A and B are shown apart, each in its own frame.
Chain A
Amino acid sequence: MSEIRSRNVTIPIGPQHPALKEPTSFSVTLSGEKILQVGVRLGYNHRGIEKACESRSFIQSLYLIERVCGICSHSHSSCFVQAVEEIAGLQLPPRAMYLRTIVAELERLHSHLLWLGVAGHEIGFDTLLMYTWRDREIVMDLLAAITGNRVNYGMNTFGGVRRDISHEQKADILKAMDTLEERTKYYISVATEETTLIQRLSGVGVLSHDDAIRLGAVGPTARASNVKRDIRKDDPYAAYDQVPFDLITSDCCDVYGRTLVRVGELMESYKLIRHLLNNLPDGPLAVKAPRKIPTGEAVSRYEAPRGEDVHYVRANGSEKPDRVKVRAPTLANVQAVAHMLKDRYLADLPIVVAAIDPCFSCTDRLIDLTRDGDGRCDVITWGQLHDYSMRWYKGQGMDLAKLNNRFKCGESS
């Protein structure tokens, strides 16, 4: 024990660790149980989706973009579709808008239920995980019934949606909403009454109102710090300007507040889905979209379950996009994590990280090569890279230069 007390230890959380669902790396410097410093390193799952879109047609890119995230796939596809529709000047039929919104809200339901379970697991409350994931299956089944898939729904197309909701499906959804609302009320009572849960969540991962704005937090993370920021209200898209719903905020500013906001949003989503289904307009599902999108550019914003999703699309009159840029909500929130962890305990790390509902693989977009020291960004040659790795390993106490001189290839530079 004296060893831990007398000197600080740095423990690696990731790239592979039971607390993480995706590869990312936190290096945590501890003094006893207290966190002194947290280093976040992203970039383990860069898939080059943006670049790949440029060599595919718009309709192919749509399916690729949908695969940015496995949880909020509809968010990314809707966000992309909106940008392209804006460039092409397509006016959606009202039924398509409503259907898009229904799937979006169902997605929010399963994402928030998933988060609730993950949060329970991170604080060792596996019962909550088992219960919420059981209920999440109801939503997944509904989505599968509507779209044919549990994830990556393929619901969107340029100018509308691809599938309709039948009368039987409508009845099924309304029935499921009643069941889920009942169970969500039970979770709210658990969250507000269970002592160990409140002790583990309350006062943990504090992000003040001003810090939330300064660090650019989005989604439930911002709303839990009482920042009224929701794209569905601020910049309504799809059918959100035609349906009544409340913006859920909390002034707890901690993980407990984030839990309350998400559970509250579940209740709002049930209301939203009921309203949308009961007022579903008749009409066609889609308008015809051109194969070649005219020259232009557009930025599209979308309130994904995790926060604001931003897509930028530039078209050059051909059938392929000229440039696609994706900014997933986690990138906006991850800056706040290091701030929230300052002076907290190691035991709080998993739940504080989980509380922003991170989706690291969706976030990995670009790798900047910056040189140590001057922070300059430029291209380095193979030889420089080789020398750099030798220096780095030497710093770690390993002299690889002695080991394999044969493979030295510094000459090529």
Chain B
Amino acid sequence: MAGDLFYILVFPGFLFLAVFALIADYIDRKLHAKLQNRIGPPWYQPLADLIKLAAKEDLIPRQVDPWLFKLAPVFAVTAVVTAALYIPIWRHGTPMSFNGDVIVVLYLLTIPTLTFFLGGWYSRSVYSMIGAARSIMQLFAYEIPLFLSILAPALLADSWSLGGMTLFYAHHPWYALFNAVGLFTALISLLGKLERVPFDIPEAETEIVAGSFTEYSGRLLAMFRLALSIEMIVGAALIAAVFLPFGLNLGGPAAFGLYLVKVLGIVAVIALARTVFARLRIDQMINFCWQFVAPVAFLQVIIDLVAKGVIAR
């Protein structure tokens, strides 16, 4: 019991995730700055931002339902932290693992977007409402490709648990190469999920101020920001576990170190995308996702099905 609580609250639960998210946030911002020929923030900047926001007053618009308004950020943080509990870090599977947890993780990672929608929609501000509508429109565009590309490797591994998948790929390391296409589509979908450039349409500041978060301030905004940062590393960890399932056999510190490297590597890719792309329009984003990303993700499913058929023979 105490072990479980430690696992959920401290390591690799909430506390570890929060610290790791802040570090990843720092690396993302610093790398982004360096690529843009800027100096970038000092190492404590993400924490300082969080403390500053937490110290500010929570302003709640008069017309909103205060419960929903306050609960949305809490749900966002809770969902991403819960999702992290099922993702293997230094061994195959976690104490919470069960067959089917990959689906649960994907669903838990959808919840933050829904809270952005609800929080924004019920803010009763035109900017928030447009941002919320864009969030949900974008969700429909990237969610299917993300599901397809994450579930395709599961088909090949014949296991619906992340632990089972990593175990399979540990026994057959070369099979992971079959999933190379899915890695790209999953990364693109993750950019959409995290609302990062080129898919930062729901919070395009030059159009709709801050989108869903326009009316949020203080601790509630801090919680949303933290949820997004944690979502970034959880999403990156999920992709690392599914597409780069190497080194878990090393066990202990070595595997954990490799996990950090993999996650930060994906964070670096996200920072790179943020540097080299301009923001797309929502219609261009949806067209791109349905005309290009979804078919390619579907191709990944076919590749894995064929590979599985060949292996079975």
Contacts and interface: CB of A to CB of B under 8 A. Distances in A.
A105 to B, nearest CB: 25
A348 B198 CA distance: 15
A346 B130 contact: yes
Interface residues of B, number: 31
Contact of A197 (B35, B208, B278): B278
B275 A18 contact: no
Contact of A123 (B35, B38, B278): B278
Contacts of B208: 11, 346
B205 interface: yes
A127 B204 contact: no
B209 A200 contact: no
A127 B35 contact: yes
A347 interface: yes
Contacts of B37: 130-131, 134
Contacts of B134: 33
Nearest to B136: A1
Contacts of B105: none
A107 to B, nearest CB: 24
Interface string B130-151: 1001101000000000000000
Contacts of A10: 126
Main secondary structure of the interface of B (DSSP, over half): helix
Interface in B67-123: none
A19 interface: yes
B278 A348 contact: no
Contact of A196 (B129, B206, B278): B278
A316 to B, nearest CB: 48
Contacts of A197: 278
A131 B36 contact: yes
Contacts of A348: 281
Main secondary structure of the interface of A (DSSP, over half): helix
A4 to B, nearest CB: 5
A3 B130 contact: no
Given A9-B126, A130-B37, A131-B37, A349 B207 contact: yes
Contact of A19 (B129, B200, B206, B276): B206
B206 A124 contact: yes
Contacts of B282: 33, 345, 347
A17 interface: yes
Contacts of B136: 1
Contacts of A3: 129
Nearest to B200: A124
Interface in B26-84: 35-38
A185 B146 CA distance: 38
Contacts of A347: 201, 204, 207, 279, 281-282
A130 B206 contact: no
A29 to B, nearest CB: 11
Interface string B185-200: 0000000000001101
Interface string A191-220: 000101101100000000000000000000
Given A125-B278, A200-B280, 9 more contacts: A4-B133, A10-B126, A33-B134, A124-B278, A124-B279, A125-B277, A127-B36, A130-B36, A130-B38
Interface of B: 35-38, 126-127, 129-130, 133-134, 136, 197-198, 200-201, 204-209, 275-284
9 contacts: A1-B136, A11-B126, A32-B133, A123-B279, A124-B279, A125-B278, A127-B275, A196-B278, A200-B279
